[in-house]
Structure formats: structure tokens, C-alpha cells
Structure 1
Amino acid sequence: MEFPLSTKSLEESNNFLRALWAEIRREFGKVGWIYTPRRNGRQNTIHFGFMSLGDDIPGSIDVWVKYGKRDSLKGMHFEIPDKTRSHVGNIEERLASCVSRAKNSEAALSQISMSVGIRANPKLTIAHYTAPNLEIIPCHSGFNMLKFSILAHDSVDADVIANQRLPKILDFLSVWTNCSFEFCSLSNVEERLDSKMNQFWRKSKWLEDFPTHEKYLRLEARTVSSLSEIIEGRITADSRVLQSALHFHQAAKFHRSEDAIHGDLITTLLISSLEAASLDLGGGGSSSCQTCGQPVYKISKRVAQLGRTHLGEYVEAFLKDKYGLRSKFLHAGKLSTVHPTTRNSLPLLDPSSSSGCVLPHAFSHAHNLLEYSGFILRALWRGTN
């Protein structure tokens, strides 16, 4: 059976699908998936997989959509097996009703309250902050509780959307604190601490260590409002700042592990975070990479220019050197350091090293690069908000 559709954008298409799955859950009580997505470009179809209904309805329904442009839907298809049709005599009418209700889905949306625990590394607790649809509650020993609400169709829909957005919250927090973060059990955040609400960090030029005052991590007002926009979906995963923050946070996780052997990987991630951020700077006469669509015109110069603009000539030269190390690591497997860190020093030559010497792993610990990168990313975000 087929139902005509006429969505015009990716957002509209996905909103319809979210609403449809929620309506089917309401109608049949439960929906299960054998999720086997694949695209057929010749037929302009996307096959989702096989959907089972309820607890005792036999068979699985083959589900696919027909699209016009890649982000617009033209039709919804359900291929119902005979044993499912015979068990549920009016299944076509019930699915048709679900599709009809999903087309008018906004009335079925509601704010669903949720909470998660997070932990910072190092063990620093974020102070108490509130914003629309978001509250950050301080707890003991580097723990916080995040309380928030998601505009969703039901609890299943809210859970999926929250798990798409919450990692972006942690990525963004990492950029604004130089810490790494991870989720933790709510049992770890039962002991709440007393902290004055919305005491914002006002030193925009901070570079080293962490934005702490009275033992709490402090956030700027724009940071808290941006976190609220992320949880609401108004800042999406494809925004430049979140793409950069993803690389930065992964680097911070390796850095906080205190394992210096990760130095080249940390360098790669941090330079990549600046490269993603530099895309908005453009460059005349550039062409685009056929694989990722990124401009290939003097990317290294754009990254180095970020250092010059925000921190001066020394950091420009520093980033240019780090960009070269990243390229050697990615494209040739060349490590910037090869000696393990031991009690003994053994000076040796390495013509490919900027120092001319073989360096132990400890020299690759990218502490300065992490602080420079965080400073630049924060400055870029302030300049656009």
C-alpha cells in the first residue's frame, strides 16, 4: 500500500517520519525494527527495513519511501504480509489513519522532561546555571546533573532525539572549559551542592587552565544560552561550531588520559577542529574536495591565519608547524616522536623533525595546542553570536 507525500525539506521529512513512527506506536502499542537501510538511486527509493507491530501480531511489514530530491519525500510504502493482514483485518485503514495524523503532527508534540548525569575530567564541577529547557545542577567531585526537556511525540521519540543532541552538549562544554566530559549514572548525582545560580564567567581572554572561581567551573552567559539552543535543536549537528567542537572534545579526552603516546592523534584532532572552523574564512579561487566537499585552497594557511588573528605571530608559526606534523602523521604514518619516555635521555638525530632531533613521547603532549585551539574556537563563536 502506498501513500502520497509532498515534503519539501530534510527537516520536514524527518519531522513527518518521527510523527509517523509515534502514531504507529500509539495505534499498535509497540513497534520493533529489523533496520536494514539502503538507497536505490535508480528507483529513487530508500528502504528502511522490516517493522513488527504489537506483541502478538505475526509477520513483519516491509517499509520504504520514494523521494524526489534527496531531502523530499514523494511516497510512503508498506508491504504487508498476508499473515499480518489476516490477523489484523483493518490494518490498511489503521496505517492510513496513522499517516494522516502524522501529516498534522505539531498538535501531538509536547515537552518531555529528562535528566542525565555527567562527569568532568579533571574533577571540576560546573556551577549552577539555568536557561530555557535546561538546568545544570552541581554535584560532588566533578559531577553534574543536566535537567532538560525535549519537544517530542512520545518518550521513545524524546529518548532518540536526546541521545542525538546530548553528545553535542558535552562537545560544546569541552570547548568552553578545556575539560573532557562523559555521561554517568544518575546515582552519582544524588548529592547536590549549594551554588549561587547563574554566576557567569566574564573573562573572555582566558587561555590557560580552566575557567574556575570558588572551586566551580564557570560558563559565559552566551555559552549557557547556546547549550539551551543545542538541546532545543536550534543549533544542529551540521553547524560549524559543533563540527569543530567534536574534534576538540575527542582530543581533550585523549589529553586528559595523561597517556603521552596519543600526542600525534591529539595534534591531528585539534588541527582538524581548527580546519573545520576555518572553512568560513574561505579563500579566493578555491576548488572543493570531491570526497568531503571542503575547499582545498591553502587550508594550512587558513589554519595558521587563525593563530595570527587571535593570538599573534608566534601561534601562527606554531600552528603551521603542527599542521605539517598532522599531514605527515595522516598521509605517511610519520610519528613526531618515536622514543618511549624513560629515566634516561639518548640524544639522536632526526632530519625530519623541526628540532633536528629524535624526541621522546613526552614532547608530543599537546597541552599548548589544546589551549590555543580552545581559545580560537571560543573567539570565533563569540564573533558570530
Structure 2
Amino acid sequence: MDIGITDVKKSNEFLRSLWAEMAKEFGKCAWHYTPYKNKQTKIITFGFMDIGVSVLIAGVTYKNNGSIIKLFFEYSDVSYGYGYIEGQEDKLTKESELGQRLIRVVRKARRGMEKYNDYCALPAIKSLLPLSNYEGNNFKTEYVGENKTRIYFPVSAYDENQVEGKITQKTNQVMDFLSVETNAPFWNTSNTSKENKEKTVLTEDVYQEPDFIDGLSVKEGYLTISEEAKDFLSYLIESNGENEDLQTFLNACYHFHTARKYDAQIHDYQGYIDHPSEDGSGVEIEIYTKNQDLKTALVTGGSQTEIATTLYMSALEVVTLIGFQSEKCKVCNQDKYGIASRVRNLVNKHLNSHIAKQLNDYYDKRSRYLHRGYMLTNNAPTGSSIPLLDIDGENGCDFPVRVSLINLREYTSYILRAFYKEYFLNKENIEK
């Protein structure tokens, strides 16, 4: 069947519409997904499609990558084995009853492109502290107990199968952004009817302190966001992936949030309570578990520092790709401004030259960790620090704290917050 779509976004839009129409027509559209690309014949085979009445091989022919010139369906023959029906002809014809049904489905899919069904998403998330309630143009957050928050937002998709994936994707993006906004880690969770009955009503929006940087963004026991973040969340939820700069920024948020979860296993797993003795002669320190979601800290040890440092620095690298136009040197044909330079300029712009120099040193340490095995954690064989030399050390010495993870976290999130407020809340960039 001729299709003639040359753009990868439109091609995928057509395929989403097609698989939804297949499920509607035949009652099911299940996949044994085994994609294969033949570059010589320019054919992509998706695998085996079970539509109840038969199992078909489905695929496309293409001219350039991402295009769909023709769409084809074939019977699974004996050589494939899977789904073969005894006595079934190997070739599926357009004139057959099944062939005619498939043609009608393809036509419906073409006409139905971008004609979505509307759904309401109600995912629940949790964090170390409860998130305060907020309501934007197209979303609402509601605290429902035990540090859990339900988020309401609209979602459009072709069918229930695809909307489930969209809700998961959008919820993860929201959590990644909230982590950058609050400095806290978030997790997917579920809520019960009991929690719904005990939900807390907050009468007005409570916003983040201006120029927040240290610790968690907390007021009155709740995690808080800025007014700009509320606008950005509305923009994020409304977006369908058409703005590549937004997707790049969300990738940076994902790096940050992943780092924050590793970081939390070091700094947020356990808490400490002082119990002074009655006679005032001493203090007993009680260690307690703050959050069971961080229990992997017990078995993974100090390696979280290396992983978190790498990801925090990567978040800054990723965001420097936004608006960057590569300029080649005429002599060596290399980019004039490398990644380290771009990160340094970004930090200098939103913080200061001293921190830019410090993070540039972190960047060098991270590169030595990745490429030379240089450790970022203290492995000195002594109970307390003693002066030692290090030829790679900035001051010529082996210093036990090579990267301050908490400082790196706070610098990174502050820069990402400053970046989105300046770049994405500008109408001109939003409309790109």
C-alpha cells in the first residue's frame, strides 16, 4: 500500500494512528516485535502482528531514513513458524477479505492522524517531604498523605494503550523537573482510597524563596516551587515533543534527577537524633532510616559519588547544547568552543567566575575518572587525614574531599533553574 510520507515525525504519527485503528478493527493488535532493517532493499520489517484472525508480518519500504514509501503486510509462512496457519496461502492479496479490511484500516489511519481522544491523567508521586499544592493552566497537584502527591493533567492519545505510555513519560518529565526545582528526589507511587479521604487542603499557593540555592526548597514542611516553575509545568505538560530545545532541557533534568537519587543514598538515607544524657555528661546519637526507597545505599557503598558527580556534570553539558552553533577552526577543523568552555561560560554567567573555575576543576576530575580510573571518593588508608602529595592535585596535594557532591548538586540545580527561567519563559523561544 502506497503511503508516501517523507518526515520521521509524520511517519511515526501515522504509525501510532495505524496501530490504534488496527486494535479497534480487529479487537487486538499485539506484537512479537523483532525489527530488522535491510539497507540494500530499503525495507524495515517490524516483526509479527497478531490481530486475532491472523498473525501477519508487517513492515515498510523507505527512501530516506524515517520515511514510509510503502506499507506491507504478509502472512507468516512455514519458514517463520510463528503464527503459521495450516493451509493458509503465503501471499496476502488486496482482493481478499482480510486485504480489504487492512486497506480500510490504513485509510482510516491516514484520515485520523492527529485526531486524538482526550484522557485525564491521575498519577501519584512521592518524595522525602510532601509537595505543596499548586494549580496551573492545565494541571493541579494535591497532597494526599504520607509524602504523596496526586497530579491531574490532560493527555491526548489515539487509544488507551498509547495514553498509558504518554502518562508515564509526562510524569517522569514532571518529576525530573521538580527535582531540579526543589533539590529533592521523587519516585512514582500509588495512592489508596484511605489516603484520598485524609488528603490535606492547602488554601493558597506557597512559593519558593527568591534565589533559592541551599538544601531543599521547603516552607512550612512542604516542598515548594517558584511561580515561574508553575508556568513552566503548564508549558511542559502541554508540549508534545515538538520543541527540540525543551526536550534537550528535559534530558538535562533527567541527568540531574538520576544523580540526585544516587546522591540521596549518601546524604538522605539515614538521619540522626541527639539524646543528651540526664546528667548532661554526654550525648547518645540515634541513627534512623529516613526513607526505605534509599535502602540500596547499604549495598552499593561509596560508588554513588562517582556516578552522581558524572551525571551532575553531564546535566550542565547537555543544557549547553541549547542554542549552541558549532563553529569550526579553519586550521584544525575542531569546534572552537569545547564542552568544558561552554560549561565554564554557563556557570560564570549564572553564578560567578570563582565557582566556574571550581566546576571546571570538577569537570577535569570527572574526565580523569571516566578515562583514567581516577577516584572521586577518599580511599586513603588512614582513619584521619594526613598530608600527602598528588601530581594531579590542583594544590599539589592529595586532598580527601575531591568533589563536594552537595555543592555540585546545588550549583547545578541553580544554573538549570536560572536557565529555564531566562530561556523558556521567553515567548519567542516557547513558540519555536
TM range (shorter): 0.7 to 0.9
Distance in 1 between residues matched to 2:422 and 2:260, nearest whole Å: 23
Counterpart in the other structure of 1:298: 338
Question: Which of 247, 250, 271 is the matching residue for 1:242?
Answer: 250
The whole-number CA distance in structure 2 between the counterparts of 1:84 and 1:232 is 49
Q: 2:308 corresponds to which residue?
A: 266
Given the superposition, is the C-alpha separation of residues 298 and 81 from structure 1 closer, same or farther in structure 2, using an over 3 Å criterion? closer
* Aligned ranges 1:1-385 → 2 under 5 Å: 3-54=1-52, 57-58=53-54, 60-81=55-76, 83=85, 90-106=97-113, 108-120=115-127, 123-187=128-192, 190=196, 191-201=198-208, 203=210, 205-235=211-241, 238=244, 239-258=247-266, 260-280=302-322, 282=324, 285-286=327-328, 297-339=337-379, 344-360=384-400, 364-384=403-423, 385=425
Deviations 1:248-305 (A, max 9, x none): 1111111111164422222211111111111236476337xxxxxx957322121112
Task: Confirm or deny: 8 A CA contact 1:336 1:353 kept in the other structure.
Answer: no
Residue 291 (structure 1) aligns with: none
1:173 deviates by 1.2
Shift of residue 367 of structure 1?
0.4
Distance, in Å, in 1 between the alignment partners of 2:327 and 2:102 is 53
The amino acid of 1:94's aligned partner reads R
Deviates more, 1:374-383 or 1:340-349: 340-349
- 1:51-83 CA-partner distances (Å, limit 9, x unpaired): 1113xx35x211111223323321111112473
More relative contact order, 1 or 2 (CA 8 Å, 6+ apart)? 1
Q: Is the 2:139–2:153 Cα contact (8 Å) retained in structure 1?
A: yes
Q: 1:12 to 1:222 in 2, by over 3 A?
A: farther
* Structure 1 range deviating more: 335-344 or 260-269: 335-344
| CA distance in structure 2 between the partners assigned to 1:247 and 1:61 by the alignment | 40
**Structure 2-normalised TM-score?**
0.78
Q: State the AA in 2 paired with 1:97.
A: R
> What amino acid maps onto 1:115 in structure 2?
L
Q: Is the partner of 1:150 in helix, strand or coil?
A: strand
User: Higher mean Cα deviation, 150-159 or 362-371?
Assistant: 362-371
* Structure number with bigger Rg: 2
SS across alignment from 2:166? helix
- Given residue 135 of structure 1, which amino acid in structure 2 is its aligned partner? K
Amino acid of the structure 2 residue aligned with 1:211: S
How big is the shift at 1:225? 3.1
**2-structure distance, mates of 1:197, 1:208:** 24
Partners of 1:84 and 1:93 in 2: CA distance: 22
SS where residue 216 of structure 2 aligns?
coil
Q: Deviations over 1:179-216 (max 9, x none)?
A: 1111012339534211135444361x211112222222
Mapped contact 1:65–1:75 kept (Cα < 8 A): yes
Residues 103-128 of structure 1: CA distance to partner in whole angstroms, max 9, x if unpaired? 011575221122221111xx221111
Contact 1:85 1:91 in 2 (8 A): no
**Distance between the aligned counterparts of 1:147 and 1:130, measured in 2?**
9
**Which deviates more from structure 2 when the two are superposed, residues 317-326 or residues 76-85?**
76-85
CA distance in 1, matches of 2:326, 2:60: 41
Change (3 A) 1:182 1:150: same
Q: 8 Å contact 2:248–2:318 — kept in the other structure?
A: yes
Gaps of 5+ in 1: 288-293
1:153/1:139 CA distance change after superposition, 3 Å: same
Q: 1:5 to 1:184 in 2, by over 3 A?
A: same
Verify the 8 A CA contact 1:117 1:189 in the aligned structure 2: no
In the alignment, the residues of structure 2 paired with residue 255 and residue 306 of structure 1 have an alpha-carbon distance, to the nearest angstrom, of: 23
Kindly tell me the number of residue pairs found equivalent between the two proteins: 370
Instruction: Provide the identity percentage.
Output: 29
